[in-house]
């Protein structure tokens, strides 16, 4: 297993994140964030769509932190929107990797659909980067998506869960699979000292 401080993010994932950040924050917002984290090299110059290591996971975490701080009270919502855009990017650009190409989910019960897409997300991440440990937790009453190598909170410390971008991605995945808005709750976070980040699928929002 890779030590958490040595963890890296691959090019295609950085490209996905930057594209989603640009969509949600615009060029101006994105460039300000990149400058503030010392990642100026990505300004107007996104990494290629391949599996080569790109940046350290801790740098990716710093970008998340910078967005949260830059937008103040709106930071959490902004990161969730970026997470949603990021899942939609996956649907557009990586349907085969996500295992969703040509799949007809409508025939499945809702719980099965949620399990299908969360398994797809975990498998896609693991296939892209062998360092990643992610899985579907269906051991309790509620389904949850879990990652013990979450990059968003790498090297960060907090008394509350902070992986808002991930919450957005999981909620958009579940919405894609069911057509409904479920509440996603981050119940565990590595930044709090937990063993993993865990995103639980709650009830349907009214
Ligand atoms: Zn996390």
Q: Taking residues 180-205, report their average pLDDT.
A: 97
Ligand 1 centroid, distance to 186 Cα (angstroms)? 9
Q: What is the pLDDT of residues 75-100, one digit of tens each?
A: 999 999 999 999 999 999 989 889 99
Residue 101 has a pLDDT of 85
Q: 3-state DSSP call for residue 184?
A: strand
Confidence of residue 190 (pLDDT cuts 50, 70, 90): very high
Q: Which two tokens stand for residue 75?
A: 């930071």
pLDDT in the model for residue 107 = 86
- What gap in Å lies between CA 119 and CA 133, rounded to an integer? 12
192 C-alpha to ligand 1 centroid (Å): 9
pLDDT in tens, 131-168: 999 999 999 999 999 999 999 999 999 999 999 999 99
Ligand 1 centroid, distance to 197 Cα (angstroms): 5
Q: How far is the CA of 9 from the centre of ligand 1 (A)?
A: 14
Confidence of residue 1 (pLDDT cuts 50, 70, 90): low
Give 108 Cα–ligand 1 centroid separation in angstroms: 30
Say if residues 7 and 149 touch (Cβ distance below 8 Å).
Answer: yes
| DSSP strand pairing (53-56 vs 144-147) | unpaired
Give 102 Cα–ligand 1 centroid separation in angstroms: 31
Q: Regarding beta strands 144-147 and 197-204, do their DSSP bridges make them parallel or antiparallel, or are they unpaired?
A: antiparallel
Specify whether the CB–CB gap between 167 and 83 falls below 8 A. Answer: yes
Instruction: Label residue 5 exposed, middle or buried (CB < 10 Å: 0-12, 13-18, 19+).
Output: exposed
């Amino acid at each position: 297993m890779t030590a958490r401080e040595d963890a890296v993010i691959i090019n295609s994932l950085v490209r996905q994140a930057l594209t989603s950040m640009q969509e949600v924050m615009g060029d101006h917002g994105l460039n300000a964030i990149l400058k503030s984290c010392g990642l100026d090299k990505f300004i107007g110059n996104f990494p290629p769509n391949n599996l080569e290591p790109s940046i350290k996971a801790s740098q990716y975490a710093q970008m998340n932190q910078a967005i949260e701080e830059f937008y103040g009270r709106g930071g959490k919502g902004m990161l969730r929107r970026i997470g949603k855009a990021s899942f939609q990017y996956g649907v557009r650009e990586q349907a085969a990797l996500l295992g969703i190409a040509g799949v007809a989910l409508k025939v499945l019960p809702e719980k099965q659909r949620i399990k299908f897409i969360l398994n797809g997300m975990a498998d896609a991440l693991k296939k892209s980067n062998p360092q990643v440990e992610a899985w579907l937790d269906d051991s309790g009453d509620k389904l949850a998506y879990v990652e013990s190598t979450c990059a968003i909170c790498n090297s960060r410390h907090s008394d509350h869960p902070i992986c808002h971008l991930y919450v957005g991605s999981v909620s958009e995945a579940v919405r894609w699979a069911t057509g409904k808005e479920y509440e996603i709750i981050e119940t565990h976070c590595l930044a709090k000292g937990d063993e993993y980040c865990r995103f639980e699928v709650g009830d349907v929002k009214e």
